[in-house]
Amino acid sequence: MTQLAELSLWIAVLMAAWSATLSAQGAVMRRASFAESGRRGLTVAMLFTLIAGTGLGAAFLRDEYSVRYVAMHSGENVDLLYKLAAAWSDRAGELLLAAALFAFAATMSAKRILRVDADRLRAGWTVAVFAALLGAALAIVAFKLDPFAPLPRNPGDGRGLDPVFRNDAMIFQPPLMLLGAACAAVTTAMAAVAFARRSVDGGLTARLRASATEAWGLLMAALLIGAHWAYASPGVRATMMKDPAVLASAAALAALTLYLVVVELRASRNPPRAGGEATRRKSGLILVALGAALCAAMFAARPFARNYDAQIADGESYHAKDAWGHAWTFTSQGASRLERPGDDVTAVALLPARDGARQPFIASESRQYYTEGGLDVFPAQTVPGIHSGITQDLVVVLSDAGEGRAVLRISFFPLVELAWIGGVFFALGGVLLFWPRIGEGAA
């Protein structure tokens, strides 16, 4: 299967090159048959990219540690679902997944463009640009990153998945974000060709707006989930800030927001005629305003966040005050140690009381990871304890534990939950507001 996947990757590179060449040639020579051949080439490139991606996923699920990329990012102690997610935990798999999603989005778009676009040359050039972008991404995967490179001998077990990625969000957040980025790339390619040819009409504007709104909705959802994940995991936060895919997605989201706001402001000069259309836009506007207000409330409350660095002996209490003036008491239940296959866990639990009323236990963990030989393979991770409420989040982070005492950071962050709700409102409202009006571009 790995051999078939590797061969498929190379065939996909060649097919993308064929598609780019024939589509461009079709546009230059005005040959419909060349353009059709180019479109088919793009479809075939997508199919072979999917085979390559499926092959890489199968290599992870079947524990093929003779493949270097699998041995570096998976292992016997990794759960089955995380084994699949491990496929996109590093650049090679991430770019291959992005290429597969882009190929899918571009193929669907190319089929539609060649059918409905009145300007056939613009359509031909757009397919050529799609194929060139896909070919470039696949060439980087095949020539530089090579996820199918074998090891000289099968090590029998892998290094394991980086613990920061052992989270349910890892299974769907990166694919969702990359799908959004792929749709954004399709929109950008369509716009770039149209502006380069100075051929912009109503139909294209409506298609661009619909495509940009799809990409915006996907990216908003993915980045919201990613932000929530990073909030609960300091290790993920550090990894995301360095990931080119996350940075590119955030930049694409900012650019799409700007574009859609400008288009909406221009379109709002002509009020919609249909009653349902006006209601949709009004609902979208209300949700966006409400979402923005909730997020602004969280940022306005940030200066009132309280942080305490507490050193608590087992059984003793620590007193703190939150932003709302409530008195908190944290009683240490002591540290407990747990040895699991692959990691050692040190946990400290606190029993909090607010104004004398007992609250649920809150615990923070420090995890150290090792292999059979006793080597530390990944940096130690701290898992914070978080109690979320509408008014504030209580966060406890374990810094150190030993000799009957623990050092912890206790933080009160006001209105954080409101910002997450506001983000969801903003995303839903934005899609309702930005979606093209019925009949837009028909003129």
Partner 1 sequence: MTPLAIGALLAVAAMAWVIAPIFGEEMRSDVPRGAAPGATDDAAEAEIRKWREPAE
Question: Where do contacts with partner 1 occur on this chain (CB under 8 A)?
Answer: 1-4, 7-8, 11, 15, 18, 30-37, 40-41, 44, 47-48, 51, 118-121
Distance set, CA 431 to CA 212, 226, 281, 287, 359 (Å): 10, 19, 10, 10, 39
Q: How would you class 198 by CB atoms within 10 Å of its CB: exposed for 0-12, middle for 13-18, buried for 19 or more?
A: exposed
Cβ-based nearer residue to partner 1, 33 or 336: 33
CB of 143 to partner 1, least distance (A): 19
247: Cβ contacts below 8 Å, ≥ 6 apart: none
Cβ-based nearer residue to partner 1, 32 or 313: 32
Cβ-based nearer residue to partner 1, 131 or 220: 131
Backbone angles phi and psi of 381, in degrees to 5:
-120, 145
Cβ-based nearer residue to partner 1, 2 or 89: 2
CB of 261 to partner 1, least distance (A): 30
CB of 439 to partner 1, least distance (A): 20
Burial 396-406 (b: 16+ CB within 10 A, else e): bbbeebeeebb
Give the count of alpha carbons within 13 A of 294, CB side only: 21
Cβ-based nearer residue to partner 1, 10 or 420: 10
Cβ-based nearer residue to partner 1, 11 or 236: 11
CB of 173 to partner 1, least distance (A): 32
CB of 72 to partner 1, least distance (A): 23
CB of 225 to partner 1, least distance (A): 36
Cβ-based nearer residue to partner 1, 130 or 328: 130
Cβ-based nearer residue to partner 1, 41 or 284: 41
CB of 37 to partner 1, least distance (A): 5
412: Cβ contacts below 8 Å, ≥ 6 apart: 305, 306, 320, 322, 323, 392, 393, 394, 395
CB of 92 to partner 1, least distance (A): 20
CB of 103 to partner 1, least distance (A): 14
Cβ-based nearer residue to partner 1, 26 or 430: 26
